[in-house]
Amino acid sequence: MIELTTTLLEMRERPKLQEKGPHRGGMLLRLEEPSVSFYRYLYETVGGSWIWWSRRRMGDAGIIEIIGDPRVDVFVLYLGGVPAGFFELDRRVEGEIELVHFGLVLEFAGRELHRWLLAFAVEMAWNHEPERLWTTTTNFSDPRSVLTYQWAGFVPYETRRESVEDPRLGA
């Protein structure tokens, strides 16, 4: 068993964020026809170091049901033609949007891309005019994640602590 601390954060109004874009040669694309194999690649490559496990345990049908829904947006950041990170916005609940996943491939960390990518994710979410935008982070994520989310305008509103079976043991 391992101790899991989950922090829930939200924002209820559009923040004013100004971040310069990615380096030359970078682009951000929305997955128009997401495939399970590419999604799994992104999820594993970005989340593998941070013990992301919820989608690892899902079957292909469950994943395609989520990412194939027109109310779920997956955006991929490419640098030099290579996926460098991604984020996922879930608009399936009326009036709110969840930033489900957000992160960079470790090789692209430290290049000041995380704030730009998060600012873009927040902007894309608020273009749909939700009542609130929310996300979660855990003690298995980057230790600076809560601060980064707060920089973007998210406010922590709840912390949950629980003991869970180590998901790495079943991988």
Domain boundaries, the chain: 2-170
- Report the alpha-carbon distance of residue 149 to residue 141 in Å, rounded: 12
How are beta strands 96-104 and 132-138 bridged, if at all? parallel
Does this model's pTM top 0.85? My answer is yes
Give the tens place of pLDDT for each residue, 21-54: 666 668 899 999 889 999 999 999 988 777 777 8
| CATH 3.40.630.30 corresponds to the domain 2-170 | yes
pLDDT higher for 2 or 160? 160
pLDDT confidence tier of residue 119, bands split at 50, 70 and 90: very high
pLDDT tens figures, 81-101: 899 999 999 999 999 999 999
Residue 87 burial class via C-beta count within 10 angstroms: exposed 0-12, middle 13-18, buried 19 and up: buried
What is the structure's pLDDT at 78? 93
Q: Is 47 left (phi over 0), alpha (psi -120 to 50) or beta?
A: alpha
Q: Helix H segments across 6-88?
A: 36-47, 60-67
Please give the C-alpha separations between residue 25 and each of 20, 81, 122, 125, in angstroms, as whole numbers: 14, 8, 22, 24
Question: pLDDT band at residue 135, thresholds of 50, 70 and 90?
Answer: very high
C-alpha distances in angstroms, 12 versus 63, 87, 89, 97, 118? 28, 20, 16, 11, 16
Banded model confidence at residue 170, pLDDT cuts 50, 70, 90:
low
H-state helical runs in 5-153? 36-47, 60-67, 113-126, 145-151
pLDDT of 171 higher than 60: no
